Amino acid sequence: MSIQSQLPQGWAPFGNSFSRWFGRTMLSLFGWTVKGELPNEKKLMFAVAPHTSNWDFPIGLCVMFGLGFKVNWLGKHSLFVWPLKSIFESWGGIPVYRHSPKGFVEQVADQFNTHERLHIAIAPEGTRSKVGKLKTGFLRIARSADVPVFRVAIDYKQKAVVFGDLFYPTDDLEADERNCYEYYKQYEGRFPEKY
């Protein structure tokens, strides 16, 4: 997919000509490309991995700006303070309250259930440190909200953001986690030893 590619039918354009120019220019300047296609789905859980570096977030933002589509992303509520709150929210940020009576999975599933169209990105590892497995929250959210998981990789080896396939979680969380973990092993994070 070239950075100038059209969005699938039904995807609302995001940003303006400057933000698209900025995203494409930054990706091009640093040698990054986008591979694959965005699926034409009203609701998606973007599972983005391997997540081994703080640079993953700005690369993801540049892809979103460059292609002109909006993906919401989750951040701990303490990040959403003035003066960053309005910027993060305009970029698709959704604050998550870790100590809420509603658990994380339920909070995010509620977001899916209250919107007609929603795409949320999450890092399945939940951290940039080596964990040896993925957290299952993204699978539980997708299962609870009945949305597919769109597997997206940030591959530093080929300097590409790879739009992969749709994964449909089953009742076997352990098998699903292993399936997704093995899938992402074909890609290389900025610090491969941390995956």
* pLDDT value, residue 74: 80
Does residue 191 fall inside a structural domain? no
* pLDDT value, residue 164: 95
- pLDDT over 50 at 1, yes or no: no
Q: In which domain, by residue range, is 141 found?
A: 17-186
pLDDT average, residue stretch 41-66: 92
Does residue 6 fall inside a structural domain? no
Does residue 106 fall inside a structural domain? yes
User: Helix (H, G, I), strand (E, B), or coil: what is residue 115?
Assistant: coil
Sheet of strand 43-49, all strands in order from the earlier edge strand to the far edge: 33-35, 160-167, 149-155, 43-49, 118-122, 72-76, 93-96
- Which class for 60: exposed (0-12), middle (13-18), buried (19 or more C-beta within 10 A)? buried
Please tell me the total count of domains within the chain.
1
pTM summary value: 0.86
> For residues 141 and 138, what is the distance between their CA atoms, to the nearest angstrom?
5
Contact status, residue 46 vs residue 92, Cβ threshold 8 Å: no
- Band (pLDDT 50/70/90 cuts) for residue 95 is confident
Residue 29 is encoded by which pair of tokens?
A: 């300047």
> For residues 157 and 36, what is the distance between their CA atoms, to the nearest angstrom?
16
Cis peptide before 83 (omega within 30 of 0): yes
Does residue 26 fall inside a structural domain? yes
Does residue 195 fall inside a structural domain? no
Lowest mean pLDDT among 14-18, 39-43, 45-49, 138-142: 14-18
How does the average pLDDT of the chain come out, rounded? 86
- Band (pLDDT 50/70/90 cuts) for residue 43 is very high
69-80 pLDDT tens trace: 888 888 778 888
Better-scored residue on pLDDT, 99 or 37: 37
Does residue 144 fall inside a structural domain? yes
* pLDDT value, residue 14: 79
Give percent of the chain with pLDDT exceeding 90: 49
Give percent of the chain with pLDDT exceeding 70: 88
Does residue 158 fall inside a structural domain? yes
128-154 pLDDT tens trace: 556 678 989 899 999 999 999 999 999
Q: Which residues contact 138 (CB under 8 A, 6 or more apart)?
A: 45, 47, 122, 124, 149
170-181 pLDDT tens trace: 999 999 999 999
What CATH number is given to the structural domain containing 156?
3.40.1130.10
Does residue 4 fall inside a structural domain? no
116-125 pLDDT tens trace: 999 999 989 8
